[in-house]
Amino acid sequence: MAAGEVALAEAYAVPDTAGRSRPFVRCNMISTLDGAIAVQGRSGMLGGPADRRVFQVLRAQADVVVVGAGTARAEGYGPARLDPELRRGRTAGGKSPVPPIAVVTGSGDLDWGSPFFAQAEERPIVFSTARGLSSAGAPAAEVAELVEAGEERVDPGRVLAHLQGQGRGSVLLEGGPGLNADFVAAGLLDELCLTLAPRLVAGSGPRVLAGPELPRPLDLDVVGLLEEDGFLFYRLAVPPPAGGGA
């Protein structure tokens, strides 16, 4: 079905999160036919109008957006912005007009005076290690909520535990590949929303996941598929572990 012929908010509705032991985690990525997730280091050059609409709707559905510091730098992240209709939908559901963005950084090396922090409508959250937070210093505490979530590396489980404690039931993970892989390796990914762009890029750039091969392929269930202008929009669920819950 064409993306323009459906109500995207319904097509991408977050499952009921009541009673879950951790937030629902959905990852949003774009890939070319040959597996590239960026051109010249940026994913924005791969998409089109429909992809941007889906991107906005997914953000509108989330209680918090989580992104790695490297991706935030490469993509030139600014404060979250949503169009008026999506803002109204969030406030009607009891949410803030835009979701806060949480940045995961091991080093704490961020530009604390950038528009991402200085102009944020919702105070950003920064997850880092004890060393990273120590190196960030006082300027960081003035513009962001700082959370220690690991010793040598940021632990995705501790990230989700903190967000669960804040009452945030749904997380939108926006990469990069290393952070995506950390969530997958920890068994903490519930859904992948993958835009497949009808393009070839070549090169040797990163893919949706980074790092060594998984011990075995992770099979996903297709729960939704839309098309517009040759772009395919997959909604893929990660099956729950055998005998396990959320």
Residue type, 132: G
**pLDDT averaged over the chain?**
94
Give the integer Cα–Cα distance in Å for 20 and 185. 20
Domain definitions of the chain by residue range = 22-211
pLDDT of residue 181: 97
Q: For residue 179, what is the enclosing H or E element?
A: helix 177-185
User: What pLDDT, in 10s, does the model give residues 5-56?
Assistant: 789 999 999 999 889 999 999 999 999 999 999 988 888 789 999 999 999 9
From residue 202, alpha-carbon distances to 35, 71, 75, 194, 206 in Å are 8, 20, 20, 19, 11
Q: Which of 159 and 244 is assigned the larger pLDDT? A: 159
pLDDT > 70 in the chain, percent: 96
Rg of the chain (C-alpha set): 17
Residues 6+ apart with CB under 8 A from 67: 77, 101, 102, 103, 104, 173, 174, 175, 176, 179
Give the integer Cα–Cα distance in Å for 128 and 135. 10
Which residue in 121, 144, 169 sits closest to 18, CA to CA? Answer: 169
What CATH number is given for 22-211 in this structure? Answer: 3.40.430.10
Residue 196's SS3 state is strand
pLDDT of residue 2: 62
The average pLDDT across 183-203 equals: 96
The average pLDDT across 64-72 equals: 97
pLDDT of residue 243: 56
Does residue 207 have a pLDDT over 70? yes
Does residue 245 have a pLDDT over 80? no
Encoding tokens for residue 246? 């959320």
Please work out, in degrees rounded to the nearest 5, the angle formed at the alpha carbon of residue 195 by the alpha carbons of 188 and 60: 65
pLDDT of residue 237: 98
The average pLDDT across 219-241 equals: 95
Does residue 244 have a pLDDT over 60? no
User: What pLDDT, in 10s, does the model give residues 95-151?
Assistant: 999 999 999 999 999 999 999 999 999 999 999 999 999 999 889 999 999 999 999
pLDDT of residue 4: 61
Encoding tokens for residue 104? 């995961």
